[in-house]
Structure 1
Amino acid sequence: MTDVIGFGYAAFVAVGGLVGFMKAGSLVSLVMGLAMGGLAAFGASQTSRNPSNCLAILGASAILLFVMGMRFMNTGKFMPAGMLAALSLFMVVRYGTRLM
């Protein structure tokens, strides 16, 4: 079964990096958004084949939860850091429960 939620999350991360580059000219946002989105897409493809093989997408989600959570706490702005931190928290809980 295809992990539609995982692929959607990966697309959201990648598009967010592209939007960050286009709005603010941030090359770091572009590179990291595409890299983390790619890692999440790879993880979603792995979980599509075997639902218990979720380490890649869990790792990408945990990294983004930490980084964007810290950014949200420092700026207090929900967009984009708070939203991505919230989505990443959902993904960490979703895939973390699969490992237990």
Structure 2
Amino acid sequence: MQKDSGPLVPLHYLGFGYAALVATGGIIGYAGLFFGSLAGLGAYQLSQDPRNVWVFLATSGTLAGIMGMRFYNSGKFMPAGLIVGASLLIIAKLGISVLSSPHP
């Protein structure tokens, strides 16, 4: 019998992908580089300790709020809608991970 190794893609890998997506937007706007760096830091912290979600969660939540307002006002999917969708998926994945992890 095989031991369950957890999710198919570890959460911190998704975090690094999310950070790259945000930082890529930063090439156009410098705030994206800042938030991409914070998301990268959060993903790194998550890779070291799966319970250390706070920097990543704060970054994702802030981006979801800021870009959600931009998406609401403009109605344009790119780039605001894309970042809102990615941020909400990351927030949901973090929430599921925190709720399903065993507590010490």
TM-score, with structure 1 as normaliser: 0.84
CA deviations 1:68-99 (Å, max 9, x no partner) are 01100000000110011000000111112333
Partner in structure 2 of residue 23 of structure 1: none
**8 Å contact 1:6–1:44 — kept in the other structure?**
yes
Partner in structure 2 of residue 9 of structure 1: 18
Whichever structure has more helix as a proportion of its residues is 1
Opposite residue 46 of structure 2, the aligned amino acid is: T
Structure 1 portions without partners, runs of 5+:
21-28
Give the 4+ runs in structure 1 shifted more than 2 A. Answer: 96-100
In the aligned structure 2, how far is the partner of 1:81 from the partner of 1:62?
A: 14
Query: Which is higher, the Rg of structure 1 or of structure 2?
Result: 2
Q: What are the equivalent positions in structure 2 for 1:18-97 lying under 5 Å apart?
A: 18=27, 20=28, 29-30=29-30, 32-97=31-96
**8 Å contact 2:35–2:59 — kept in the other structure?**
yes
Report the number of matched residues. Answer: 90
**8 Å contact 1:39–1:60 — kept in the other structure?**
yes
Question: 1:37: Cα distance to partner?
Answer: 0.5
Opposite residue 6 of structure 1, the aligned amino acid is: G
- Structure number with higher relative contact order (C-alpha < 8 Å, ≥ 6 residues apart): 1
Output the aligned Cα RMSD: 1.4
- The percentage of counterpart residues that share the same residue type is 44
TM-score, with structure 2 as normaliser: 0.81
